[in-house]
């Protein structure tokens, strides 16, 4: 069971999917987009009160014109938390959403009891042979984010030729990614220093076969975060939450019960 909450009294409107019960957990999607209430949301909702906002600039959530970087995006998400009345929560984000989450954690470290980064962007990946989202057709890029691009997880979500609405969503999410992550490519050098403020526990949840933010990216986060725990998920590529939603939720549950108080 989930519902869609709308906040229309902020500078730009927000759409937030919510569901479940327990400690509050904010989940940020990235350039893979917002495709409704998905299995990873449900799995997390068994232990948490999950809120999954739609990224500004995508249908449902507006983008104030001053938001054109990841730090400025992070500030709008913090304002959303103010509006929702969430004084403290667990903060999780995937890929570009992970990068946004990392910026939020560096800005208001006391607000987040724990940080969960799933294949987060934010540090340079460097190598020419790491697929570049701006040089690759969108859905082909997404396919590189799966350990098995021919598997059911990919096919169920991306297998069909996109409808008009889905093609529009692809464009919106790509434009947002380009707006905030074109240059430098999907990273913010200041994170290597600013994350030192975040002393609460952080889980780095990486697919064993992540080709989009390969292992060195995870290690860079480990280096920057004072209390980081790296967990590798077998059978998953970059989009762990989409390819292995159950393992993703289990890893987060275990991490929270072991380290977060």
Partner 1 sequence: MIQLHYFVNQSYIGYPHEAAADFGAVMLKFSNRHFDAQRAADLYDRYHREFVLAEQVGFDSVLVNEHHNAPILSPIPNISATVLAKITSRVKIFIGGNILPTNGNPLRLAEELAMIDLISKGRLISGFVRGGANESLALSANTVHNREVFEEAHDLILAAWTRPGPFAWEGKHFQYHVVNPWVLPYQKPHPPIMIPGSTSRETVDWAARHGYPYIALATNLEATDDLFRTYNEIASSSGHRVGPGHRGYMIRVHVADDEAQAHEEGRKLFGSRVAQVTSMSKMNIHPDAGAWMAPPGYVTREAARLRRKYMGGTPYAFFTQGYEGALANSSIIVGTPDQVVAKLDALRRRWRLGNIGISNLPIDDEAITVRNLELFGAKVFPRLRELAAEDTAAELAA
**Chain positions contacting partner 1, by CB under 8 A:** 134-138, 140, 164, 167-168, 171, 174-175, 177-179, 182-183
Cβ closest to partner 1, residue 152 vs residue 171: 171
CA 113 to chain centroid, in Å, comes to 17
If one counts every other C-beta atom within 10 angstroms of the C-beta of residue 46, the result is 13
CB 116 within 8 A of CB 255: yes
The distance of closest approach from Cβ of residue 173 to partner 1 in the complex, given in angstroms and rounded to an integer, is: 9
Cβ closest to partner 1, residue 172 vs residue 203: 172
Cβ closest to partner 1, residue 168 vs residue 223: 168
- What gap in Å lies between CA 76 and CA 234, rounded to an integer? 34
Cβ closest to partner 1, residue 111 vs residue 211: 211
H or E element that contains 193: helix 191-194
The distance of closest approach from Cβ of residue 84 to partner 1 in the complex, given in angstroms and rounded to an integer, is: 29
Q: How would DSSP label each residue in 64-97?
A: -TT--SHHHHHHHHHHHHHHHT-SSEEEEEETHH
The distance of closest approach from Cβ of residue 141 to partner 1 in the complex, given in angstroms and rounded to an integer, is: 8
CB 88 within 8 A of CB 98: no
Provide the β-strand partners of residue 53.
Answer: 16
The distance of closest approach from Cβ of residue 164 to partner 1 in the complex, given in angstroms and rounded to an integer, is: 8
The distance of closest approach from Cβ of residue 176 to partner 1 in the complex, given in angstroms and rounded to an integer, is: 8
Cβ closest to partner 1, residue 37 vs residue 138: 138
9 preceded by a cis bond (ω within 30 of 0): no
């Amino acid at each position: 069971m989930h519902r869609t909450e709308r906040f229309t009294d902020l500078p730009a409107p927000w759409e937030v999917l919510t569901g479940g019960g327990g400690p509050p957990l904010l989940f940020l999607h990235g350039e893979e987009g917002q495709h409704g209430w998905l299995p990873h949301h449900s799995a997390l909702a068994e232990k948490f009160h999950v809120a999954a906002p739609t990224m500004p600039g995508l249908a449902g959530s507006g983008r104030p014109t001053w938001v054109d970087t990841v730090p400025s995006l992070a500030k709008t998400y913090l304002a959303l938390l103010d509006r929702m009345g969430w004084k403290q929560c667990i903060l999780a984000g995937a890929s570009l959403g992970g990068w946004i989450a990392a910026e939020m954690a560096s800005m208001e470290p006391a607000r987040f009891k724990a940080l969960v980064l799933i294949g987060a962007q934010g540090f340079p990946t460097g190598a020419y042979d790491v697929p570049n989202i701006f040089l690759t057709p969108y859905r082909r890029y997404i396919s590189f984010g799966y350990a098995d691009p021919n598997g059911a997880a990919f096919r169920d979500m991306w297998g069909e030729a996109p409808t008009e609405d889905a093609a529009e969503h692809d464009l919106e999410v790509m434009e947002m990614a380009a707006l905030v992550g074109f240059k430098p490519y999907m990273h913010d050098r200041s994170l290597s220093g600013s994350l030192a403020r975040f002393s609460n526990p952080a889980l780095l949840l990486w697919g064993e076969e992540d080709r989009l933010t390969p292992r060195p990216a995870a290690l860079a986060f480990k280096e920057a975060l004072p209390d980081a725990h790296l967990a590798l998920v077998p059978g998953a590529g970059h989009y762990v939450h989409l390819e292995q939603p159950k393992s993703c939720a289990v890893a987060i549950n275990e991490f929270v019960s072991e380290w977060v108080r």
